[in-house]
């Protein structure tokens, strides 16, 4: 049920974000923030299709059903897209902080520059799949702990320094930046509110960024807990360990909170996007209501026509019987 909710929220929500921001230009935020939001939506859609959907199918079937080719391909996609998502959120909070702290300097940042920042995040994310491919492209097997194909990390280089290094650079440092940026934004916002200078800040953008950062931190918190405790948990059979099985599943489930939450965050914080969603829902409701009324009218007319036809047939039949009876009476009198 959880994976199905994530899939529906992401596919519908992120598609709505892209349509609203690209076609209708409903996000009344700084254009750089809008560009970053678009890139995050695209990344979340890819995560849903290449990571969440295969997990949902595997959980439902109880096994891997996509074949060997996809078992080798999809882990590379997952370990590429998740760092990209983290870096994009880091870029979002960093730019929003700079915009609040130095508005005169960063207000003029263009859409082209924003896309360059986002593409830098996409390129940096390639570090993970390239490292995996270089150290053994086929070091992958299906894991019943997460119901997805995953890297085994069988080489000593992963356990000795490469895996901790990548985790530190692409998870720990960006997360620390997100936390520091968010706290600093709240301090600036509070200071502005205390000075009765509320009009100088875009509170919708601030709240959208803060909530995005908050849900991201919640989604990765179990990962940090697992990484901190893993070295101290020693069991004979990891397959029977709650920490290495059930809690490990919780880690991979919590990560998708970040994938599905953006639509609800923007509906809550960005008034223009909320109005867009309300308008589309109202039009959809009117369409289905009108269609239902048409169906009812059609059904009613069909029933009325059928009843009228039956009544006409009955009257005609009764008239024939009366005529036949009269003819018989005339014949008898003769």
pLDDT of residue 332: 43
Q: What is the pLDDT of residue 291?
A: 61
302: pLDDT strictly greater than 60: no
At 22, the pLDDT band (50, 70, 90 cuts) reads very high
In 92-173, beta strands by DSSP E = 140-143, 148-151
Take residue 148 and report the two structure tokens written for it: 């997805």
Q: Which two tokens stand for residue 154?
A: 């069988």
Q: Give the pLDDT band of residue 236 (cuts 50, 70, 90).
A: confident
Residue 287's pLDDT band (cuts 50, 70, 90) = confident
Quick: pLDDT tens for 205-233: 999 999 999 999 999 999 888 888 887 88
Nearest to 21 by CA among 266, 269, 282: 266
Q: What is the mean pLDDT of the chain?
A: 85
Query: d(Cα 222, Cα 248) in Å, to the nearest integer?
Result: 9
Does 313 have pLDDT greater than 70? no
How many percent of the chain have pLDDT more than 70?
A: 84
DSSP 225-276: HHHHHGGG---S-GGG-TTTTHHHHHHHHHTTHHHHSHHHHHHHH-HHHHHH
Instruction: For residue 58, name the pLDDT band (cuts at 50, 70, 90).
Output: very high
Nearest-angstrom CA–CA distance, 103 and 65: 52
- Residue 243 has what pLDDT? 87
- Tell me: pLDDT of 296 over 80: no
> Over 60: is that where the pLDDT of 70 sits?
yes
Maximum Cα–Cα distance for the chain, whole Å?
Answer: 122
Q: Write out pLDDT tens, residues 104-113.
A: 899 999 999 9
pLDDT at 289 over 90: no
Residue 309 has pLDDT above 70, yes or no: no
Pairwise CA distance, residues 255 & 220, whole Å: 6
Cα 160 to its chain centre, rounded Å, is 35
**pLDDT of 294 higher than 70:** no
pLDDT at 192: 78
pLDDT tops 50 at residue 333: no
DSSP H or E run through 147: none
Q: Is residue 290 very low, low, confident or very high in pLDDT (cuts 50, 70, 90)?
A: confident
Judge whether residue 314 has pLDDT over 70.
no
The confidence score (pLDDT) of residue 14 equals 96
pLDDT of residue 206: 92
């Amino acid at each position: 049920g959880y994976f199905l909710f994530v899939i529906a929220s992401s596919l519908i929500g992120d598609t709505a974000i892209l349509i609203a921001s690209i076609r209708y230009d409903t996000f009344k935020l700084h254009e750089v923030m809008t560009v970053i939001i678009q890139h995050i939506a695209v990344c979340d859609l890819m995560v849903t299709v290449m990571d969440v959907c295969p997990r949902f199918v595997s959980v439902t079937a109880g096994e891997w059903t996509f074949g060997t080719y996809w078992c080798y391909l999809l882990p590379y996609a997952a370990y590429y897209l998740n760092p990209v998502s983290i870096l994009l959120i880091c870029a979002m909070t960093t730019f929003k902080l700079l915009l609040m702290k130095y508005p005169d300097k960063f207000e003029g940042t263009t859409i082209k520059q924003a896309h360059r920042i986002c593409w830098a995040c996409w390129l940096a994310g390639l570090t993970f799949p390239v490292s995996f491919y270089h150290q053994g492209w086929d070091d992958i097997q299906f894991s019943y702990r997460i119901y997805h194909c995953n890297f085994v990390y069988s080489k000593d280089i992963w356990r000795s320094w490469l895996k901790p290094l990548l985790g530190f650079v692409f998870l720990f440092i960006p997360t620390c930046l997100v936390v520091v940026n968010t706290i600093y934004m709240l301090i600036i916002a509070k200071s502005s509110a205390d000075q009765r200078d509320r009009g100088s800040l875009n509170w919708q953008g601030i709240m959208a960024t803060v909530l995005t950062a908050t849900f991201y931190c919640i989604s990765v918190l179990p990962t940090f807990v697992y990484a901190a405790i893993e070295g101290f948990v020693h069991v004979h059979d990891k397959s029977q360990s709650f920490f290495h099985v059930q809690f490990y599943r919780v880690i991979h489930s919590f990560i998708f909170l970040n994938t599905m939450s953006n639509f609800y965050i923007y509906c809550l914080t960005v008034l223009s996007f909320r109005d867009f969603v309300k308008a589309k829902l109202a039009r959809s409701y009117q369409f289905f209501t009108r269609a239902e009324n048409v169906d009812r009218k059609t059904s009613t007319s069909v029933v009325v026509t059928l009843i009228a036809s039956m009544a006409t047939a009955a009257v005609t039949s009764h008239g024939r019987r009366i005529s036949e009876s009269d003819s018989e009476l005339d014949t008898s009198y003769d």
